Amino acid sequence: MIVWVNGAFGSGKTTLVDELRPRWPEALVYDPEMVGYVLREIVDVPTGDFQDLRLWRRQVAELAVGLVEEYGRPLLVPMTLVNPAYMDEIFSALRKTGITVHHFFLQVPPDVLEERIDGRSFTPDDPEQEERVRNWCKSKIPSCVGFLAEAPADTVVLDGELSPGTLADQVLNSVGVVSP
């Protein structure tokens, strides 16, 4: 089983997964962003967004399948994925193998997202890079907010302003996991 936690930058994906970990100790955490970081070290990313690389999408799906098959454990995947074609490509590859994919989307108002992004530190040792990353994250807010109009029908929309504990309860209840 894969639990994909989606939402805009600053919506609380990582915070929610951090809350889920002690409640679901057998689950592995898989961050597809790491695949992107590796690819950036090897190849150019002309658009600046590694999700635009077909290889990133293929490797994300293949590594997720490999982790589930090799270790027989569920995956928690905190990753913004709001391009419907890219989502379909990745989720179809996952489901083709028979793996159940639960898709959750943390909905947070744009003004709250901006506030959260402004409160984060990305690269504290490089103020110019820090500002570039912050601006890039903010530039993605409209596409993330607009994604819900095109989200798959089985997407579970969560109120990203609720506490992490409440959200974790909702996720676990939705996927049928009893927390220890």
Tokens 């074609």 found at:
85
Could you report the per-residue pLDDT of 3-42, keeping only the tens digit for each?
999 999 999 999 999 999 999 999 999 999 999 999 999 9
Q: The dihedral of CA 123, 129, 135, 141: what is its sign?
A: negative
180 pLDDT higher than 80: no
Alpha-carbon span 3 to 154, nearest angstrom = 12
Whole-model pTM: value is 0.94
* Structural domains present in the chain: 2-170 (3.40.50.300)
Instruction: Summarize pLDDT for 121-135 with one digit per residue, the tens.
Output: 878 888 898 899 899
